[in-house]
C-alpha cells in the first residue's frame, strides 16, 4: 500500500434510529441547494425575483433525477439486469448512480417547462444556473468518493486512490494493494476551475445571453471526455467500441460551441436596459 495514497471512506451511510442516511444523498441535496441559490442570486441581479429560480427548480430537479437514473441504468445494464437480480434496485438512487448527462438533458426539459410557466426566457435561467451547475457537480463528486464509484486506471502517483478490494467496483485480477487515479477529485477540481472560466467568459462577452451556458457545455464536455478515457467502468455501454459517455461528452462540447455561435451575433440590451426576460412577446412589450 502506498503510504501517501488517498484512503477511501470506511462508511457511506449512518443510521439514525430506523432511518439510514446515505452520504451520497446528502451531497446530492447540498448540490441542488447550492445550484438553486446561485441561480436565484444571479437572476435577482437581472431584475427577476429570486423565488423564481426555486419555482423553476421544482420542475427541473425531479425530472432531472429521473433522467439521471434512467441514463445510468440504461448505460450500466449489467449492474441491474442479471439472473436473480433485485429489480427494485433500479429505483435505489441513494446508493449512487445518477448520470449527469441524463440529469442535464431531462432537467433542461423540466427547467424549460418551469421557465415557461414563470414567463422567463429559458436562456436567462440557463445562464444564471451555469456556474452553480458546475459547483453542484463538484459537490456531488464528494458523494461518489464515499461510494467508491468514480476512479480511473491504476497509478503509482502519490495521490492514488485506495479502493476496498471487496467492493463490487474493484477490477478483478488486480492486487488488493492497487491504487487508482482519483477521478472524483480530478473532476471536482476541473468543475471548480470551470466556475471561474464561465464567469470570466461571461464578463468578457459583456453578459451576452447564451455565453455562460455555452461555455459550461464546452468546458464540462471536454473535461469529461478526457476523464472518461481512463475511467474504469467495465459495465458501461459502448457504441462501436467507444464509451457512451465519451460520445455524449463530445456532443455536449459541440452543443456548447453551437450555442456560442448562435448567440455570437445576436445583440440584446443588458437587463437594466430593458432586456425582455419573458418568452411572451406581448409581455416583453409591456416592459
In the structure grid, which three cell numbers stand for residue 220, read together? Answer: 464540462
Residue pLDDT, tens place only, 254-272:
999 999 999 987 755 554 4
* Nearest partner of 139 among 87, 192, 68, judged by Cα: 192
The region of weakest confidence among 43-47, 58-62, 136-140, 279-283 is: 279-283
Give residues with Cβ within 8 angstroms of 242, minimum separation 6: none
Q: Mind spelling out the 3-state secondary structure of 202-235?
A: HHHCCCCCCHHHHHHHHHHHHHHHHHHCCECCCC
Entry pTM: 0.87
Q: What pLDDT band is residue 227 in, cutting at 50, 70 and 90? A: very high
Q: What pLDDT band is residue 235 in, cutting at 50, 70 and 90? A: low
pLDDT value for 98: 80
Query: Average pLDDT for residues 222-238, to the nearest whole number?
Result: 86
Question: What's the chain's average pLDDT?
Answer: 88
Are 235 and 149 a contacting pair, CB within 8 Å?
no
Count the Cβ atoms, other than its own, within 10 Å of residue 283: 12
Pick the residue with more confidence: 84 or 247? 247
Distance (Å, rounded) from C-alpha 210 to C-alpha 101? 19
CA angle, residues 24, 25, 31, in degrees to nearest 5: 90
Give residues with Cβ within 8 angstroms of 269, minimum separation 6: 275
Instruction: Decide if pLDDT at 279 tops 90.
Output: no
Instruction: Decide if pLDDT at 15 tops 50.
Output: yes
Amino acid at each position: 500500500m502506498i503510504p501517501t495514497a488517498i484512503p477511501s471512506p470506511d462508511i457511506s451511510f449512518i443510521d439514525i434510529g430506523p432511518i439510514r442516511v446515505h452520504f451520497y444523498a446528502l451531497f446530492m441535496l447540498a448540490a441542488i441547494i447550492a445550484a438553486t441559490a446561485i441561480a436565484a442570486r444571479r437572476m435577482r441581479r437581472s431584475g427577476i425575483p429570486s423565488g423564481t429560480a426555486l419555482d423553476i427548480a421544482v420542475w427541473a430537479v425531479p425530472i432531472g433525477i429521473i433522467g439521471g437514473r434512467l441514463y445510468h441504468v440504461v448505460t450500466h445494464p449489467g449492474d441491474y439486469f442479471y439472473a436473480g437480480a433485485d429489480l427494485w434496485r433500479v429505483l435505489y438512487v441513494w446508493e449512487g448512480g445518477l448520470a449527469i448527462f441524463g440529469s442535464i438533458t431531462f432537467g433542461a426539459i423540466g427547467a424549460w417547462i418551469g421557465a415557461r410557466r414563470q414567463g422567463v426566457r429559458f436562456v436567462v435561467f440557463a445562464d444564471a444556473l451555469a456556474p452553480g451547475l458546475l459547483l453542484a457537480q463538484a459537490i456531488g463528486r464528494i458523494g461518489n468518493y464515499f461510494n467508491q464509484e468514480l476512479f480511473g486506471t491504476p497509478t503509482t502517483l502519490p495521490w492514488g486512490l485506495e479502493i476496498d478490494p471487496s467492493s463490487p467496483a474493484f477490477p478483478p485480477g488486480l492486487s488488493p494493494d492497487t491504487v487508482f487515479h482519483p477521478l472524483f477529485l480530478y473532476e471536482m477540481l476541473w468543475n471548480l476551475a470551470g466556475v471561474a472560466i464561465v464567469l470570466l467568459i461571461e464578463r468578457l462577452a459583456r453578459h451576452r445571453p447564451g455565453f455562460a451556458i455555452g461555455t459550461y457545455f464546452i468546458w464540462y464536455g471536454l473535461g469529461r471526455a478526457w476523464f472518461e478515457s481512463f475511467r474504469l467502468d467495465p459495465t458501461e455501454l459502448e457504441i462501436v467500441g467507444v464509451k457512451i459517455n465519451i460520445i455524449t461528452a463530445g456532443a455536449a462540447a459541440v452543443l456548447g460551441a453551437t450555442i456560442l455561435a448562435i448567440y455570437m451575433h445576436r445583440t440584446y440590451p443588458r437587463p437594466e436596459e430593458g432586456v425582455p426576460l419573458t418568452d411572451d412577446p406581448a409581455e416583453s412589450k409591456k416592459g
